[in-house]
Amino acid sequence: MRVIVGGVAYPDLCDYSIGMEVQERLSGRQAPANVVVEDLSYNPIAVIQRLEDEPPDDRFERAVFVSAVKRGDRPAGTVSCFRWDGILPSDDEVQRAITEAVTGIIRLDNTLVIARYFRALPNEVVVVEVEPETHEFGAALSPAVAAQVDRVCDLVWSFATDDSAVAALPVGSLALATAPAFRFG
C-alpha cells in the first residue's frame, strides 16, 4: 500500500506551522519505500495535480494529513486523530472552499474537501489535527503545541506505516464537534 504523508501549514505563523514542522521532522526518518512524506501546504488544486501525477496503476492508497485546525471546543495542544468519512458538505460550502483556496487561504478542510470533490484523494484519509493557541506571525510554536510535536510525529508515522493503528481509529467528519476522534492533550 502506497501512503502519502502531508503537512498542511503556513510557514512562520506560530502554531499554524505545525504541519510543516512535523513534515520536516518525518522527512529525516528512514521511510519505507511505500511511504512518501511531503509538504502539501499549497493551493488545493496543486495538491490535486500532485496526487494525479502518480501513475494510474500506482496511486496512493492512504493519505495522512497533519495540520493545526481551530475547532474552538478543544484546549490548545489537543491532538485529534480520525479516519475521515469523506462526506462532502453542501455544494455552496464546496464553492466557499474553492473561493478561499483561490484567494490563497491554506486550510486542511479546504484541501480535503476540494481534493475529494475532484476525486483525487485515496479512499483512506487519516487526519491528525492539533488545536492551535497562537495565531500570529512568528517561528515559535506555543508551549501547548510545542509539547505535542514529538507525539504528533510518532502518531503520524504509525498511521503511515501500521495498518492496525489506522484500523483502530474512529471514523469522523470534519465537524469534530459531533464526530468521534482519539484525543490526546
Q: What is the pLDDT along the chain (185 residues), one digit of tens a residue?
A: 999 999 999 888 889 999 999 999 999 999 999 999 999 998 899 999 999 999 989 999 999 999 999 987 789 999 999 999 999 988 988 898 888 888 888 889 999 999 999 999 999 999 999 999 987 887 889 999 999 999 999 999 999 999 999 999 999 988 644 444 455 55
CA distance 32 to 19: 21
Handedness of CA 69, 70, 72, 77 (dihedral sign): positive
DSSP 173: -
Q: Answer whether 81's CB lies under 8 Å from 159's CB.
A: yes
- What is the dotted CATH code of the domain comprising 3-184? 3.40.50.1450
CA distance 118 to 113: 9
Q: Answer whether 122's CB lies under 8 Å from 62's CB.
A: yes
- What pTM value is reported for the model? 0.91
Residue 184, all three cell numbers: 490526546
Cα–Cα distances (Å) from 82 to 43, 62, 104, 165, 167, in that order, read: 23, 13, 26, 11, 10
User: To 5 degrees, how large is the angle CA 29–CA 35–CA 40?
Assistant: 90
